[in-house]
Amino acid sequence: MGFGDGAPGPVASLDISPMPRDEGPGHQGEWGVAGRRARGVAPGAEESPPGPAVGAAGAGLPPGAEVVRVRLDVGYDGTGFSGWARQPGQRTVQGTLEDALARVLGLAGPAALTVAGRTDAGVHARGQVAHADLLADRWADAGPAAARRLARLLPPDVRVHRLTPAPPGFDARFSAVWRRYAYRVCDDPALADPLARHVTLWYRNPLDVAAMNAAARQCLGERDFAAFCRRRAGASTVRTLLRLHWARTGPAVAEATVVADAFCHNMVRALVGALLKVGDGSRPAGWPAEVLAARVRDPAVPVVAPHGLCLEEVGYPADAGLAARAAATRNLRTAPAPSGPAAPSPATSDPPASGPAGLSPPAPGPPPG
């Protein structure tokens, strides 16, 4: 997960808009944990499309000041947060980290962070990446001990695993080549692990993983995912889905590995919702591709609860390609010419060896722990 790492482990998970956690039957129903109040949706949740950065790092620094860009590798349990993005009166990951970093470095105000993927309320992260532009003198004074001091200051549900100067051209958001998410589902509530209830969706019907993978194969490639995204004015919904694959990772547990160059708001959780309908037999394997081709939100596609979703890893090019990648990502993407659903392959739902615009999907590996 370091700079220039080109081959991540397993690829994971889809993004899409959250269902309130108290909409579901039983203690933990099909759509999540019952009896918990729904929280507000963070702006630009789960993955924001290419566009102007919100709360851009470097904001508020004195003109002409010597600045150092710092990379943060972050993990968090999203259960107690109202998403990544800072919101007035809400506990957010961004707000918690910015305030703690300001204290550690002795700054007058929050240290503005730019992040690879702005996760929604309840979504977790093991491999989130952010950057901050800091005054060089402050970093020189406090930087060497900053990670250790943050470990003492931060609450236990968020950790900064690494805090290091970034190479030239690095942008946590725009330099990223791919994001890997995982979505975990237990399809037999009698066998569900109570200790994993905050990170696993309990689904009341048994799932056919082979059928879900047959459906997933038809959604790969560069496509307009408007049918699975919450539209935002002026934002593109064109994304390159590099990998979408389901596997059994434990007793009654199915895990989706989802990798794309980026994800628009609600994309992963809507894709997962559509594939679960295929898995439980209520929809045919070709249905998700038909919805995708229509480019219009279908009310029959459920958006699954956020707590089963985790940002596992973010991939970046080698240092020499960071600036060029950031410049290319900022260009607004247009929809590719309609070509119909991809022909399903009987063997695999892995993507081709290389994708558009020089993208290389992560190499398959063992399921994440």
Give the residue numbers marked as catalytic: 120
Cβ atoms of 352 and 222 closer than 8 Å: no
Pairwise CA distance, residues 369 & 67, whole Å: 37
Number of neighbouring beta carbons within 10 Å of residue 89? 6
Cβ atoms of 72 and 129 closer than 8 Å: yes
Alpha carbon dihedral 161, 165, 166, 167, in 10-degree steps, equals -140
Pairwise CA distance, residues 95 & 162, whole Å: 18
Which of 234, 240, 235, 204 shows the shortest CA–CA distance to 220?
A: 240
Question: Measured on CA atoms in the order 335, 337, 340, 343, is the torsion positive or negative?
Answer: negative
